[in-house]
């Protein structure tokens, strides 16, 4: 049986970012575990490896010189300089091909990178992850125990500044309970696939077309009789 409509088979480009310690990495990981059909792109960065970082999981860690070489070779979909020193970039490899083949692609990137992607891909789905409160952000930063008091304060200030960027996103999801946050993102992805602007063609079956034509013809005859 033929469907009434034909929609675009192009994959969704899903961008997830958010404030410091909002748990976007945890949410992304859970989303991917539940949805094996979503491709996750791993970004490159010139920043140093922190405790708990795994090469090729959160990022590919390279030197600044190597990063600049990749920029020169046009290997990034986008890149940005964060905190005035660290480079972050999204590799082109596989993303465009997978989108064209109908595969959804997930990018977990910082706010600056998300804005750059939006300029090049206006149809990208931008989702901003928030912690349930700033008090919780503070608790999570301290709980990591990876930085001194000065750096903790800097990260907390950054989180407040990052909140100002939420209006540039399409959706906001509060990460209080991870599973609930993931359900909301899944609902967003499903809703985006149902958008009217994804419709390429509308079909009607032969019988329906005959009924439609008959009704039009009948109405025209009635109009003509009224005029006469």
CB 136 within 8 A of CB 174: no
| Inter-CA distances, 78 with 29, 38, 75, 110, 116, Å | 22, 20, 9, 11, 6
Question: Which of 3-17, 99-113, 171-185 has the largest mean confidence?
Answer: 171-185
At 43-76, the pLDDT tens digits run: 899 998 887 788 888 789 999 999 999 999 999 9
The residues, any chain, with a CB within 8 Å of residue 48's CB and separated by 6 or more, are 61
Arithmetic mean of pLDDT over the chain: 84
How far apart (Å, rounded) are the C-alpha atoms in residues 211 and 194?
Answer: 28
Please report the pLDDT score of residue 218 as a whole number: 60
Over residues 100-114, mean pLDDT: 91
User: Residue 81's beta-bridge partner residues?
Assistant: 87
The domain defined by 5-39+104-201 carries CATH number 1.10.3720.10: no
How far apart (Å, rounded) are the C-alpha atoms in residues 196 and 187?
Answer: 16
**Tokens describing residue 18:** 């958010």
User: Residue 88's beta-bridge partner residues?
Assistant: 45, 80
Q: What are the structural domain ranges in the chain?
A: 5-39+104-201
Over residues 110-135, mean pLDDT: 90
**Which of 7-11, 90-94, 219-223 has the weakest average pLDDT?**
219-223
How far apart (Å, rounded) are the C-alpha atoms in residues 178 and 189?
Answer: 17
Element (H, E) at 146: none
The residues, any chain, with a CB within 8 Å of residue 162's CB and separated by 6 or more, are 18, 19, 20, 111
User: Residue 178's beta-bridge partner residues?
Assistant: none
Among candidate residues 197, 131, 123, the one with its CA nearest the CA of residue 166: 131
At 91-100, the pLDDT tens digits run: 988 888 899 8
Among candidate residues 55, 168, 38, 171, the one with its CA nearest the CA of residue 106: 38
Among candidate residues 1, 52, 27, 3, the one with its CA nearest the CA of residue 202: 3
């Amino acid at each position: 049986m033929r469907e009434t409509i034909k929609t675009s088979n192009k994959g969704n480009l899903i961008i997830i970012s958010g404030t410091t310690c909002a748990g976007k990495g945890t949410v992304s990981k859970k989303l991917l575990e539940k949805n094996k059909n979503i491709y996750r792109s791993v970004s490159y960065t010139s920043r140093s490896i922190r405790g708990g970082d795994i090469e090729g999981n959160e990022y590919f860690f390279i030197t600044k010189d190597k990063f600049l070489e990749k920029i020169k070779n046009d290997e990034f979909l986008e890149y940005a300089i964060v905190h005035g020193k660290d480079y972050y970039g999204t590799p082109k490899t596989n993303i465009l091909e997978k989108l064209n083949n109908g595969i959804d692609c997930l990018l977990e990137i910082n706010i600056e990178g998300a804005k750059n992607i939006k300029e090049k891909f206006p149809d990208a789905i931008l989702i901003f992850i928030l912690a349930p409160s700033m008090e919780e952000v503070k608790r999570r930063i301290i709980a990591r125990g990876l930085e001194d008091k000065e750096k903790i304060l800097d990260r907390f200030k950054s989180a407040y500044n990052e909140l100002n960027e939420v209006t540039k996103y399409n959706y906001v999801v509060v990460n209080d309970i991870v599973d609930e946050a993931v359900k909301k993102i899944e609902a967003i992805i499903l809703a985006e696939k149902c958008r009217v602007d994804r419709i390429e063609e509308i079909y009607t079956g032969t019988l329906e077309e005959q009924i439609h034509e008959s009704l039009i013809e009948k109405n025209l005859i009635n109009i003509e009789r009224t005029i006469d």
